[in-house]
């Protein structure tokens, strides 16, 4: 994604926590009206998102500049368009463009200077906003999508600027709108992921209460399916809670100095059963001189667990999984690079940049069948970012996938 929601971190965290609360509430009351519980919560969350982007209070024009840009000081000494943060355009009573700042030239092109604004920016909403401000001699504000050379979402404010002139300020609100859409998508995705197993559970409960009430064989079969669906919901809630906790701590750098050897032993032990069931062999390629790292041990274990689970899920039965750990130099200094590589179908190049987005999967059906939540790589990326490391995915279709990440080496070791 343009998963660059760093500035929105606290907001995300609140959302994830609320979404998780919705799951728990829904799970507790699934036998009655769970759809309503989720529906109401989703509406409340969307309403909260809308509120977060309420209009800013009116901005004051800058104080008169001692030495302003020549073109505009000639027109109105109190305004220096270049000192304005947003794209700004000054028009006269006949809608002619008198001056533009650099941002406006970038958005609408230098040719617009001297043109009629209604021709330079041919958009009905712009024309209406400017005309209203001109006619009523007061501020007129409107959000307009898809104008300018970069098809930006602008919040246009047209207001009187003395001598029958109008100052038009175009604030770029595209990032806020994108963040808003991503939040709405996240809630919709989380709700959908929960709705599916809940629907199955509700269906089986009704069947067990009715047609299958006296059928012990069917009951045993249905209870198995129900247990699987409940486990799936638990995994999803666990992952949502993990994301929430990681978001909470994301600005606090880990301080512990840890040895990686016991971490790798732990990974080998916890994945032994799944590896054996799939006739897989774990190959450990660890540098014996590996320095200690500055890291949160539980979180490193979680990244390794998520990557191992994926290598087992998406790699080919009977093929080895290789874990490599070596020291390396990165921009931020000495690091330890850890990679987990599998032999499998691999991933088409166009999917790779999006794999760390929440709920992004190459094949949703396959991921669900294999017990995936679509959050494993998003969690891994957030943890690695908290450690100021980098996560890299390389894959070749028909060959396999390697996912590596770095952790800062403890300086005293080097």
Q: Which residues are near ligand ADP by CB under 6 A?
A: 306, 310-311, 314, 342, 344, 347, 355, 361-363, 367, 372-378, 401
Closest CA to 83 of 57, 110, 50, 59: 59
Q: What is the nearest approach in angstroms of ligand ADP to the Cβ of residue 80?
A: 50
Q: What is the nearest approach in angstroms of ligand ADP to the Cβ of residue 363?
A: 6
SS3 263: helix
Helices 216-249 and 376-386, packing angle to 10 deg: 20
Q: What is the nearest approach in angstroms of ligand ADP to the Cβ of residue 386?
A: 17
User: Which C-beta is closer to ligand ADP: that of 294 or that of 362?
Assistant: 362
Report the alpha-carbon distance of residue 228 to residue 316 in Å, rounded. Answer: 24
User: Which C-beta is closer to ligand ADP: that of 131 or that of 302?
Assistant: 302
Kindly report the CA angle at 387 between 384 and 391, in degrees rounded to 5?
A: 25
Adjacent-strand bridge partners of 283? 322
Contact between residue 169 and residue 142 where contact means Cβ atoms under 8 Å apart:
no
Report the alpha-carbon distance of residue 145 to residue 124 in Å, rounded. Answer: 11
Give the number of other CB atoms < 10 A from CB of residue 245: 16
Q: What is the nearest approach in angstroms of ligand ADP to the Cβ of residue 219?
A: 30
User: Which C-beta is closer to ligand ADP: that of 361 or that of 387?
Assistant: 361
Closest CA to 276 of 322, 339, 323, 318: 318
User: Which C-beta is closer to ligand ADP: that of 13 or that of 401?
Assistant: 401
User: Which C-beta is closer to ligand ADP: that of 129 or that of 242?
Assistant: 242
Q: What is the nearest approach in angstroms of ligand ADP to the Cβ of residue 254?
A: 22
Q: What is the nearest approach in angstroms of ligand ADP to the Cβ of residue 395?
A: 7
Contact between residue 170 and residue 156 where contact means Cβ atoms under 8 Å apart:
yes
Backbone phi, psi, residue 374, to 5°: 80, 10
Q: What is the nearest approach in angstroms of ligand ADP to the Cβ of residue 357?
A: 8
Report the alpha-carbon distance of residue 186 to residue 243 in Å, rounded. Answer: 12
User: Which C-beta is closer to ligand ADP: that of 107 or that of 402?
Assistant: 402
CA neighbours closer than 13 Å in the CB half-sphere of residue 340: 22
User: Which C-beta is closer to ligand ADP: that of 40 or that of 370?
Assistant: 370
User: Which C-beta is closer to ligand ADP: that of 372 or that of 389?
Assistant: 372
User: Which C-beta is closer to ligand ADP: that of 85 or that of 238?
Assistant: 238
End-to-end CA distance of the chain: 36
Tokens of 151: 């098809």
User: Which C-beta is closer to ligand ADP: that of 306 or that of 410?
Assistant: 306
DSSP β-ladder status, 321-330 and 282-286: parallel
Q: What is the nearest approach in angstroms of ligand ADP to the Cβ of residue 272?
A: 19
Q: Tell me which H or E stretch contains 247.
A: helix 216-249
Report the alpha-carbon distance of residue 100 to residue 112 in Å, rounded. Answer: 9
Tokens of 268: 């080998």
Q: What is the nearest approach in angstroms of ligand ADP to the Cβ of residue 220?
A: 28
Helices 9-28 and 216-249, packing angle to 10 deg: 160
Q: What is the nearest approach in angstroms of ligand ADP to the Cβ of residue 404?
A: 12
């Amino acid at each position: 994604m343009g998963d660059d929601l760093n500035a929105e971190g606290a907001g995300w965290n609140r959302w994830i926590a609320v979404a998780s609360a919705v799951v728990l509430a829904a799970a507790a009351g699934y036998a009655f009206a769970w759809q309503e519980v989720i529906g109401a919560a989703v509406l409340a969350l969307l309403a909260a998102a809308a509120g977060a982007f309420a209009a800013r209070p009116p901005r004051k024009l800058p104080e008169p500049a001692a030495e302003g840009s020549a073109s505009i000081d000639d027109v109105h000494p109190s305004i220096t368009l270049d000192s304005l943060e947003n794209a700004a355009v000054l028009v006269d009573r006949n809608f002619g463009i008198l001056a533009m700042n650099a941002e406006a030239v970038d958005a609408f092109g230098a040719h617009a200077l001297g043109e009629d604004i209604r021709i330079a920016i041919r958009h009905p909403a712009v024309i209406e906003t400017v005309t209203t401000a001109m006619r009523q001699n007061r501020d007129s504000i409107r959000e307009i999508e898809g104008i300018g050379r970069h098809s930006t979402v602008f919040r246009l404010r047209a207001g009187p600027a003395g001598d029958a002139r109008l100052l038009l300020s175009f604030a770029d609100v595209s990032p806020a709108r994108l963040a808003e859409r991503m939040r709405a998508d996240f809630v919709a995705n989380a709700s959908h992921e929960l709705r599916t197993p809940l629907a199955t559970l509700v269906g089986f409960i009704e069947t067990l209460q009715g047609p299958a009430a006296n059928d012990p064989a069917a009951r045993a079969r249905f209870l198995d399916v129900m247990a699987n669906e409940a486990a799936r919901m638990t995994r999803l809630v666990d992952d949502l809670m993990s994301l929430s906790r990681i978001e909470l701590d994301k600005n606090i750098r880990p301080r512990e100095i840890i040895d990686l050897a016991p971490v790798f032993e732990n990974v080998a032990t916890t994945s032994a059963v799944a590896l054996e069931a799939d006739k897989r062999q774990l190959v450990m390629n660890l540098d014996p001189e590996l320095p200690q790292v500055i890291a949160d041990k539980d979180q490193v274990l979680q990244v390794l667990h998520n990557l191992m689970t994926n290598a087992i899920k998406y790699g080919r039965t009977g093929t080895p999984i290789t874990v490599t750990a070596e020291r390396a130099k990165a921009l931020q200094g000495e690091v330890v690079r850890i990679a987990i590589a599998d032999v499998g179908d691999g991933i088409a190049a166009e999917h790779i940049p999006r794999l760390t987005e929440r709920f992004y999967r190459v094949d949703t059906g396959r991921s669900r069948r294999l017990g995936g939540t679509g959050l494993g790589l998003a969690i891994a990326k957030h943890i690695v970012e908290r450690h100021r490391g980098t996560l890299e995915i390389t894959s070749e279709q028909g060959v396999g996938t390697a996912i590596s990440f770095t952790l800062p080496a403890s300086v005293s070791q080097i």
